[in-house]
Amino acid sequence: MTRQSPSKTDFDPAVARSIIAEHVAEPGGLLAALNALQARFGYVDGELIAPLADAFNLSRAEVHGVISFYHDFRDRPPGRHVVRICQAEACQAMGSRGLTAHAKEVLGLDFGETNAGEGLTLEPVYCLGNCAAAPAVMIGETVHGRVDATRLDMLVAACRKGVRA
């Protein structure tokens, strides 16, 4: 029942093309294709803009416009563990600003940055729907509630060791 990060694989253009092909016939399939690509590789490689444009009969600028509109889409591979700290109000009320500062310091990362060696990426997120157990942090697809600095340190240590807390 434990939810790990979906298993990401290294970017593979052939696999990417088959993912795109799966969504071409779907109404509004571009967003679904982008979501599927990101789920598979952790980001949407810039190399895919041309094939996406061809597949969905759009200009490259249009495809780029869609990708850049949505906050989820990354343009480079994240680390194995993506740590997302909620920045929204319920979490603010329970100390997320301090928690965020602490996380940036212990990870040595600003939002959007990755430490490739440790396989860690730090990102903001705006509400995880866990507002009654704030502050909330999501690592991979697992949400953690009432996270204070000590708990965050444990979660990060577990990521560094490659095991789950």
Partner 1 sequence: MSTAVRVFIPRETTALSLGADEVAGAIMREAEARGSAVDIVRNGSRGAAWLEPLVEVETPDGRIAYGPVTTGEVPALFDAGFLAGGAHALRQGAADAIPWLAGQTRLTFARAGVTDPLSLADYEAHGGLAGLRTALEMAPAAIVAAVTESGLRGRGGAAFPTGIKWKTVLETEAARKYVVCNADEGDSGTFADRMLIECDPWLLIEGMVIAGLAVGAEEGVVFLRSEYPLARMIFTEALGRAREAGLLGADVLGSGRAFDIRLCLGAGAYICGEETSMLESLEGKRGEVRAKPPLPAVSGLFGCPSVINNVLTLAAVPFILAEGAEAYRDHGSGRSRGTTAFQLAGNIRRGGLYEAPFGLSLRTLVEEIGGGTASGRPLKAVQVGGPLGAYIPAAKLDIPLDYEAFAEAGAMLGHGGIVVFDDSADMGAQARYAMEFCAHESCGKCTPCRIGAVRGMEVLDRLRAGAEPEKNWRLLEDLLEVMEEGSLCAMGGLTPQPVKSVMTHFAGELRAK
Question: CB–CB of 147/135 below 8 Å?
Answer: yes
131 lines the binding site for partner 1 (CB under 8 A):
yes
Among 30, 63, 122, 128, binds ligand FES (CB under 6 A): 128
Segment lying near ligand FES (by CB under 6 A), choices 17-25, 29-37, 69-77, 122-130: 122-130
CB of 154 to partner 1, least distance (A): 13
Site string for ligand FES, 12-51 (x = CB under 6 A): ----------------------------------------
CB of 72 to ligand FES, least distance (A): 16
156 lines the binding site for ligand FES (CB under 6 A):
no
Question: CB–CB of 85/134 below 8 Å?
Answer: no
d(CA 153, CA 130) in angstroms, rounded, equals: 20
Torsion of the alpha carbons at 72, 76, 78 and 83, rounded to the nearest 10: -40
> Considering CB under 6 A, how many residues would be counted as binding ligand FES?
12
Nearer to ligand FES, 50 or 101 (CB): 101
163 lines the binding site for partner 1 (CB under 8 A):
no
Residue 41: is it exposed, middle or buried by C-beta count within 10 angstroms (0-12/13-18/19+)? buried
d(CA 53, CA 121) in angstroms, rounded, equals: 29
Question: CB–CB of 138/128 below 8 Å?
Answer: yes
2 lines the binding site for partner 1 (CB under 8 A):
yes
